[in-house]
Structure 1
Amino acid sequence: MSSSVDAALPAPAPAATEALRPAVHYTARDTWLNDPNGLVYWGGQYHLFYQNNPHGNVWGNMSWGHATSRDLLHWTEHPVAIACDDAEDIFSGSVVVDHGNTSGFGTPEEPALVAVYTSAFKAGSGHAGTQAQSLAYSTDSGMTWTKYAANPVLTRNSAHFRDPKVFRYEGASGAYWVMAAVEAQEQKVLFYKSHDLKAWEFLSDFGAGGPHLGRPGMVKWECPDLFPLPVDGDPAAVKWVLIVNVNPGGVAGGSGGQYFMGEFDGVRFRSDSPVEEPSWLDWGRDCYASVSFSNAPDNRRIIIGWMNNWDYANALPTHPWRSAMTLARELRLTTAGGSARLVQRPILPAAGERPTADAAQVRTGPFALDGSGVDLPDAVRGQAQVMEAEILPGPAGQVAFHLLGTEDGSGGTVLSYDAATRQLVLDRRNSGNTGFHPQFPSVEAAPLELEDGVLRLLIVVDHCSVEVFAQGGLVVLTDLVFPGPESFRNRLAATGGPATVRALTITSHS
């Protein structure tokens, strides 16, 4: 499975929906989780902290859960890292390795991990009704945490000031810590700097400052992240990427992740595009609060998102666990269509790094595809399927993967490319259990251009989710699905004319 339980934790309760628990995505053993936060690499392990209700499987009692992994696929869950108390809930934030011991919480030889998190203050706390930024530190590689006695370290006396993402900046303006946080309902990212992680100075802000993109409702900006990436691997051609998650207002409805590209000089972020014209991290319904790991090896930029949507998050039909994380995704910038574009590639087991028993693989060469279609390997409980395809749609009106359908061909999730509209479409209206919430049945669509007539897809099907990476990760779609036990059939077919499958590889992972 995707996670194991630390020996210090009690045995999990019997799970009524274990068949839906993913194989290579993180889930908590028997509680609620939402936004990933505090992502950091340290001590040879990736640390995933996340919003967690230690006492139930719906949102509440916000604390930081904790899990670790060496491969970003198989996780060990640990006891709650930073717990809520009578004074505060522990909302989202970030963790940095304080290599220079700027905070004084560790030593230069043994640096502390420092968590910068949002205190959501409760009645009687002295800061009731406000959200402010606080610190906690760990000197035992993230296993135990101490809250800083002088918290909060930064406040605006605001009810919606949250989600600090901190990184070390070194450039023309100097060397210091930078924090990106949000005034959520003002739709602004605010930047601050600090030399010791304790005293913060305002730098600038970036945002819409009003009704966003013409969509109805109060759009909140949340969970920002700012980082540089080289274009096409060229260290002399660097762009800065600012991720801003929104809820509501996502491209597919409800929660979603947007990003801007531009320049950051250590003080101000300047976007290459108007704030009203963001790009989308994911065109599906179920990728939110994506943020990146700090201190990752080889300066890799790796993100994880919450695989859910606030429209129906508390109603997901799983018990006792509820909600999962997306796969970890490595980000790069590549030139496409004359401009820099963000690409996402899921981190999956390499063929030489897994035991033979851990994977079953099917490869096929070129073949013609028509309306009769071809059967693909069935889904198997306890395993995720990775499907990689290169298809020449040609005159075909539509090429479609029918995923997790029933034996008689009814139901299932349909991923299709429509040549007329040049769209990639993910339809989960007949994917299984869709009646638990009226907003769950949906069809998602993303614009997609072929490359020399070729459709390239990487599809990860893992029990309760479908993640699609098209054209090398230029277009991404993520949706939850809840198929019944009889839904395990997979097929590929073309309608409106013949197509050619140039290559197809299907690999199973546990």
Structure 2
Amino acid sequence: MFTNDTLFENYMTLRTGGVVDDPCTTTFCRVYTVCAMLYATHDNINSCVRSQIPSSSSSSEPIDSSDSAPSPTPGPSMHIDSKPQYHIRPPTNWINDPNGPYRDPVTGKIHLYMQYNPNGPLWGDIAWYHVTSDDYVKWTIPSTPIATYADRWYDKWGAYSGTMMNNNYSEPVMVYTCTEPENIQRQCVATISPSDLAGKRTLSFFEKSPLNPILTEESVPGLVGLGNFRDPTEWWRDPANPSQWLIAFAARIKDRDGDNAHIVLFSTTDPSFQSGYSFSHSLYVYKYDLDHMFECPDFFTLKQGGEHYLKVSTMPSHRDYIVYGSYQADPVTGKYVFIADPARSFTFIDYGPFYASKTFYDPILKRRMMWGWTNDELSNEQITSQGWSGVQNLLRGIEYDSVEKKIKTYPIAELKGLRLSHLYSRPETDPLVLVDGTPQILITAGTNATRQHEIIVTFKLSSMDSFKGNTYYTESAAPEFGVMIRTNADLSQYTTVSVRMPAAVRQPISNRAQDTTWAPIKMYPGSGTNAASNCSAECAKERTCVSWTYTTSPSSTCALYWKTSRRVYNATAHSGTVNIPLLYMDRTHSGSIGSRQPLLGRSPVKQTNPNVVRLHIFVDDSVIEVFKDGGLETMTGRLYLPGGESQTGIAVYSKNTGSITVTASAEIFSMDSAFAAEAGPNLIRTYTNSYYNLLSALGVAS
């Protein structure tokens, strides 16, 4: 019988080439986490952190994101001179998941909360941090920015991820995963004090309900482990019973088909959203996740034909997915479930370290938007030296593209309010004609004292034939075009953001099935007489898949991966790469002291206006965000460059495009800080606020 143990055995064979002394071969080196913690980057997953994690449940303990080799003692060389200015982050300490994004329909004030460690730059002691805005452009840190602490018996291990929205009385309610020591995950609610709601409506401090926890580990039938029930969504009315409200959570459940990832629903008739919850059913079940567990689910509609979308985060891929489908009544139970559309496979929201994203609906602008979190790709020692970790990604709009049949996310128009100087302009009516293999400099490094840029480049190609997958290329011959960012003056150091063909020529260059130090996105038994071809076809069908490996030993297994591979095996295994253009960030020559692994994902030639490709790039010192063709594909990356202002150059280029003519037009802006100028310190206000917060925490003040 093909079991999860067999899948694990095959995965470890693929991963290690059968090396039995690998410390991770005896235990699957998965990194179980809750949403509220640092996930290991793909560069470091070789480090076996499994010994730090309970075998039966998720861990809430911080994970060392460094490589397995010992890190040097912090010193001058460890200092990271990284200062993002227009991405939201506190001045110091750790942050992760965006939580409870909310626009107050009464005041119009915009509120964003996030996971925060008030005691240091590494994960731990998770509380909720709070920032506000009037326009999504400039943000303010309140004088008392911590909205809730991990200060009750039921959340001593952390006030983890959650949601805030209005209940049926139009009062904001916060629901979050409250975690007791030993990682027992439950669900709790909190509200804003009546005096604040009737007064200034600062929404700066939550009062936890005396009914907490409202849901426990015993509330979920078939729950596997005490640490696999978390991350509440928004509430919505039950279409099968309009007097009830539904809310969803991620859970790992042992069902009749095995150990699977579920999105579970609970219902309540309490209009205050604070009590009366009971298990309803599973909204969605997925059988292929290697952790058997989703994180940070989001279930929403964009009101385009009433279609619904399920967004999930998964640890094996370190990515956020969109699942496409329909929300419809089960013919047997009558309860509404989410049915995935087999004709539209999952898509990644972003091809980089963009995680734990959260959507919300702005009742004033009447549109849904999305926040996300990007972690630092540094060792714990480097993070400690830096003094802070993590940023909130730029706020994104969300639309469904009915032609490409996928969700696209894009920078909201309000971000134009951060533009300062117009540093460069080359109109589409008079574009640059690119010379193959010769970069053309737009901004010379060191000529502008800023590490903050917005770059918009429009490429036009006379033909897209080289990008249609009819030819298989080697690494050195693959055609590409793109933008060089963070260059030095002589272009010996640079990072490229490009559209390029993969190196898909199948060459027997290794005795390993695939050179992967990351988990596959999907594994299942090989099938049919042409199992290798079937595996290849399955990868082509899955829009998240870039490469695949089929093995016959110890069992017939097809593994799909989200990264490229140029490696093939012997008679017992085969590997291949989908011959589709990639959105690609190459950090090989960046000079970064962080990861230099490439970031990539599928970027097929679009159906509308295929010869025009637009790359919209935001550079905020160490944080890079890329939006291609209005957000059809996006990518977040990190660069840690000791050169500082000496690496601020920008260039455009094409390579291996042959007889194809490539032109480029561009607009480049410097960017302002996202935070409003702070007023001078008010010692009396600071003391008074701290005093009343203490009284409130002790239950003395009302």
Q: Same fold (TM over 0.5)?
A: yes
Please list the CA deviations of residues 290-338 of structure 1 after superposition, one character each: whole Å capped at 9, or x if unmatched. 01124442331111101127x868566561121101100010112114x
Q: State whether residues 389 and 501 of structure 1, in contact with CA within 8 Å, keep that contact through their aligned partners in structure 2.
A: no
Distance 1:507 1:303, change over 3 A: same
Distance 1:276 1:160, change over 3 A: farther
- The equivalent of 1:51 in structure 2 is 115
| TM superposition shift of 1:506 | 1.5
- The equivalent of 1:114 in structure 2 is 173
Distance 1:494 1:295, change over 3 A: closer
- Output the amino acid matched with 2:670: S
Q: Does 2:373 match 1:306?
A: yes
**2-structure distance, mates of 1:313, 1:180:** 35
- Output the amino acid matched with 2:655: T
Distance 1:82 1:180, change over 3 A: same
Distance 1:419 1:430, change over 3 A: closer
- The equivalent of 1:76 in structure 2 is 140
**2-structure distance, mates of 1:167, 1:381:** 47
Structure of greater Rg: 2
1:50-199 correspondence runs (5 A): 50-78=114-142, 79-85=145-151, 87=153, 88=155, 89-98=158-167, 100-101=168-169, 111-122=170-181, 129-139=183-193, 140=196, 141=201, 142-157=203-218, 158-169=226-237, 171=239, 173-174=241-242, 176-184=244-252, 186-196=260-270, 197=273, 198-199=275-276
User: Residue 630 of structure 2: SS of its match in structure 1?
Assistant: helix
Q: Does 2:323 match 1:243?
A: no
Q: State whether residues 97 and 295 of structure 1, in contact with CA within 8 Å, keep that contact through their aligned partners in structure 2.
A: no
**2-structure distance, mates of 1:181, 1:45:** 28
**1-structure distance, mates of 2:382, 2:81:** 14
Unaligned runs of 5+ in 2: 1-77, 219-225, 254-259, 330-334, 467-478, 503-579, 673-702
- The equivalent of 1:341 in structure 2 is 406
Q: Does 2:433 match 1:374?
A: no
- The equivalent of 1:487 in structure 2 is 647
Please list the CA deviations of residues 85-139 of structure 1 after superposition, one character each: whole Å capped at 9, or x if unmatched. 26222010100123x32xxxxxxxxx432100111012xxxxx642111011013
Match of residue 278, structure 2, among 180, 201, 217: 201
User: Residue 303 of structure 2: SS of its match in structure 1?
Assistant: strand
- The equivalent of 1:272 in structure 2 is 340
Q: Does 2:592 match 1:433?
A: yes
- The equivalent of 1:260 in structure 2 is 323
Structure 2 length as normaliser, TM-score? 0.60
- Output the amino acid matched with 1:500: V
Q: State whether residues 94 and 165 of structure 1, in contact with CA within 8 Å, keep that contact through their aligned partners in structure 2.
A: yes
How high is the sequence identity, in percent, across the aligned residues? Answer: 24
Q: State whether residues 208 and 276 of structure 1, in contact with CA within 8 Å, keep that contact through their aligned partners in structure 2.
A: no
| TM superposition shift of 1:143 | 1.2
User: Residue 472 of structure 1: SS of its match in structure 2?
Assistant: helix
Q: State whether residues 316 and 322 of structure 1, in contact with CA within 8 Å, keep that contact through their aligned partners in structure 2.
A: no
Deviates more, 1:193-202 or 1:75-84: 193-202
| TM superposition shift of 1:433 | 2.9
| TM superposition shift of 1:66 | 1.0
- Output the amino acid matched with 1:262: G
- The equivalent of 1:443 in structure 2 is 599
User: Residue 116 of structure 2: SS of its match in structure 1?
Assistant: strand
Distance 1:170 1:129, change over 3 A: closer
Q: State whether residues 234 and 247 of structure 2, in contact with CA within 8 Å, keep that contact through their aligned partners in structure 1.
A: yes
**1-structure distance, mates of 2:280, 2:328:** 11
- Output the amino acid matched with 2:433: A
**2-structure distance, mates of 1:350, 1:477:** 18
- The equivalent of 1:24 in structure 2 is 86
User: Residue 668 of structure 2: SS of its match in structure 1?
Assistant: strand
User: Residue 122 of structure 2: SS of its match in structure 1?
Assistant: coil
Distance 1:324 1:448, change over 3 A: same
Match of residue 322, structure 1, among 389, 392, 402: 389
- Output the amino acid matched with 2:88: Y
| TM superposition shift of 1:208 | 4.5
Please list the CA deviations of residues 419-478 of structure 1 after superposition, one character each: whole Å capped at 9, or x if unmatched. 57522211123333335xxx6633323233143311122111111122111121111111
Deviates more, 1:32-41 or 1:185-194: 185-194
Please list the CA deviations of residues 18-58 of structure 1 after superposition, one character each: whole Å capped at 9, or x if unmatched. 85222221111111001111111113222111111000000
| TM superposition shift of 1:402 | 1.0
- The equivalent of 2:49 in structure 1 is none
| TM superposition shift of 1:288 | 0.1
| TM superposition shift of 1:361 | 4.5
Distance 1:294 1:114, change over 3 A: farther
Q: State whether residues 423 and 669 of structure 2, in contact with CA within 8 Å, keep that contact through their aligned partners in structure 1.
A: yes
1 or 2, which has the higher helix percentage? Answer: 2
1 or 2, which has the higher strand percentage? Answer: 1
Distance 1:401 1:191, change over 3 A: same
Q: State whether residues 426 and 445 of structure 1, in contact with CA within 8 Å, keep that contact through their aligned partners in structure 2.
A: no
Q: Does 2:550 match 1:477?
A: no
- The equivalent of 1:424 in structure 2 is 583
Match of residue 296, structure 2, among 201, 223, 227: 223
User: Residue 388 of structure 2: SS of its match in structure 1?
Assistant: coil
Distance 1:81 1:402, change over 3 A: same
- Output the amino acid matched with 1:400: G
1:396-415 correspondence runs (5 A): 397-415=479-497
Match of residue 453, structure 2, among 365, 374, 385: 385
- Output the amino acid matched with 1:490: I
Q: Does 2:364 match 1:297?
A: yes
**2-structure distance, mates of 1:120, 1:447:** 40
User: Residue 365 of structure 2: SS of its match in structure 1?
Assistant: helix
Unaligned runs of 5+ in 1: 1-15, 102-110, 123-127, 232-236
Provide the aligned C-alpha RMSD in A.
2.8
**2-structure distance, mates of 1:25, 1:487:** 20
**1-structure distance, mates of 2:133, 2:496:** 32
| TM superposition shift of 1:207 | 4.4
- The equivalent of 1:5 in structure 2 is none
Q: State whether residues 349 and 634 of structure 2, in contact with CA within 8 Å, keep that contact through their aligned partners in structure 1.
A: yes
Q: State whether residues 182 and 188 of structure 1, in contact with CA within 8 Å, keep that contact through their aligned partners in structure 2.
A: yes
**2-structure distance, mates of 1:303, 1:425:** 23
Q: State whether residues 257 and 290 of structure 1, in contact with CA within 8 Å, keep that contact through their aligned partners in structure 2.
A: yes
Distance 1:459 1:296, change over 3 A: farther
- The equivalent of 1:105 in structure 2 is none
Deviates more, 1:260-269 or 1:452-461: 260-269
Distance 1:342 1:209, change over 3 A: closer
Q: State whether residues 444 and 648 of structure 2, in contact with CA within 8 Å, keep that contact through their aligned partners in structure 1.
A: yes
**1-structure distance, mates of 2:130, 2:441:** 40
**2-structure distance, mates of 1:177, 1:46:** 25
Structure 1 length as normaliser, TM-score? 0.82
Q: State whether residues 228 and 293 of structure 2, in contact with CA within 8 Å, keep that contact through their aligned partners in structure 1.
A: no
